[in-house]
Chains A and B, each alone.
Chain A
């Protein structure tokens, strides 16, 4: 029996549509993505047939409006989708995330109606792929210090500069590119977001970077040499691009946290199964308190992480400010995911170090989570700034 109450209280029950969304994506992950998991890892490619299935299902339009063919799942629905995708190779959520969470999100949030009418339908269908180009060799954490320039000439902007580590840079048709339109103003009025067609002579793509993990998802340099962008392809206002970048990254951070929750939950399930099965000293290692305590801590951390993701998403869906929460979610969930997979590997012993269990893959894939979309140090700076303002 529960404690006596006359209050309506909080409602943590997911609506029916989001339950069905979760179940459908889980089924899709198990039937379509798990079977190609090792292949994606070995070849560093997602097979075209799988990309087609992801597009057909509507993964590339998850958070966007129905009028453009999107699924309009809301921030909470988007987080649940990414949580479920987190149970497969990180490559899938990375390719979809770079497109939905950041690449196309900037266009969705601040793009003009004309621009959206022209491009969003193809982007939602996955017929065209987007990416987000902010980072440069000399401007990572210090994103306001970007050098890529855009100079207005008649009806066009002429773009010059180099962006690097751009996820989907190899496959994207379009990029949200952050450029300097006024050096003197810097982040306060001098940075402009442009919607750039990457299939033009002024854009060269570098070779794919050789990475520690995330096989199947690629990053590369984008080099702009007198690339041409129509003046009406400015996303939002001229000079207000830095705000667009920050708003977009806020959105991405919650769903990044959701992916961490899904990956950690999946790793925990593997650890539990292994601990019950593996016999040492005449009994399953799950009988050892040292192992039990690791499992208990992992489960507790996932519980906390999942609830902070959902709470942040709830705020976002209500239209409340959630920048600080997004930074907290990103910081906590990514650190947790890295620490979780480390302990899950430990519970697997030597088997965990072997390629065949997939845990070493999870271990390598997790490490980036504390770095991209703003390092965890930068997240702490955002949180502290909110606290001390």
Chain B
């Protein structure tokens, strides 16, 4: 079985972020980039499936990112993935979610797959759109928000997280699954894995190689336009209830919550 995990390179959550006022894009060069934390769960799940299925199952990492994203890819390889595809092309910068999904779908057709695993969201743009859009392009079943997954007899059996519980979904392979943080506890890359990762193959196909139409990529191929951006206003200071009588304090807090219609 061939499992492909789509992973995104995102700016370190703790990094100070700035936007280019002209291109209205995030300045990515000056900040430390990391593997999207949500995608670590998808990688872990892929590795567990591989461990359960045996030797003829492979795990491929797919990312669309600047050519410098090899360090993020190596982390995934250090965790135990077999090889990677880094899609990087001058036609790509400026792509919105739809253009990104189109490119990834083309790349997936190029490398082949039985099961595609994705994170639920990225920590930077947080659209949760890419996985479903990829599945649509590939015309395969899409099961999102999965917190438990089993692969058996060329099919998946999955539990989709809902607000009150879960929905059980079964689908034939090939299929796409996006996983939540409840599904597993990602492993650390082993030190041996890290040192061995440089020997693993990272393919770098061009847009032409994957048969993607450049007109559907980049700014030109994107249907969304960033009109303007503004910083989020600073959070207001919380209100402190400070009284010596606990009962009175509880009452004040309750009144406040009632006024806000929270309770």
Contact = CB atoms under 8 A, between A and B. Distances in A.
Contacts of B192: 58, 61, 66, 69-72
Contacts of B188: 24, 27-28, 56-57
Contacts, number: 60
B195 A17 contact: yes
A72 B197 CA distance: 13
Interface string A51-93: 0000011110110001001111100010001000000000000
A16 B195 contact: no
B191 A66 contact: no
A71 B194 CA distance: 8
Contacts of B193: 58
Nearest to A25: B191
Interface string A27-68: 110000000000000000000000000001111011000100
B189 interface: yes
A23 B3 CA distance: 27
Interface in B188-209: 188-198
B196 to A, nearest CB: 7
A223 interface: no
B190 A20 contact: no
Interface residues of B, number: 17
B75 interface: yes
A368 interface: no
A24 B78 contact: yes
Given A17-B74, A20-B71, A62 B190 contact: no
A57 B190 contact: yes
Among B71, B188, B198, max chain A CB count under 10 A is at B188
Nearest to B193: A58
Nearest to B196: A66
Contacts of B194: 17, 20-21, 24, 71
Interface extent on A, as a size class?
A: 20 to 34
B128 interface: no
Interface string B169-203: 00000000000000000011111111111100000
A20 B189 contact: yes
B70 interface: yes
Contacts of A61: 191-192
Contacts of A28: 188
B74 A20 contact: yes
B74 A77 contact: no
Nearest to A31: B188
Contact of A24 (B70, B189, B196, B198): B189
Contact of B71 (A19, A59, A70, A72): A19
Contacts of B70: 16
A61 B196 CA distance: 14
A57 B78 CA distance: 11
A58 B195 CA distance: 11
A23 B70 CA distance: 14
Contact of B195 (A25, A57, A59, A77): A77
A24 B75 contact: yes
A61 B188 CA distance: 16
A176 to B, nearest CB: 23
Contacts of A23: 75
A264 B179 CA distance: 41
24 contacts: A17-B74, A17-B194, A19-B71, A20-B189, A24-B75, A24-B78, A27-B188, A56-B190, A57-B188, A57-B191, A58-B190, A58-B191, A58-B192, A59-B191, A62-B191, A66-B192, A66-B195, A69-B192, A71-B190, A71-B191, A71-B192, A71-B194, A73-B191, A77-B195
Given A20-B75, A20-B78, A24-B189, 10 more contacts: A17-B198, A21-B191, A24-B191, A57-B188, A57-B191, A58-B193, A59-B191, A62-B191, A66-B196, A73-B191
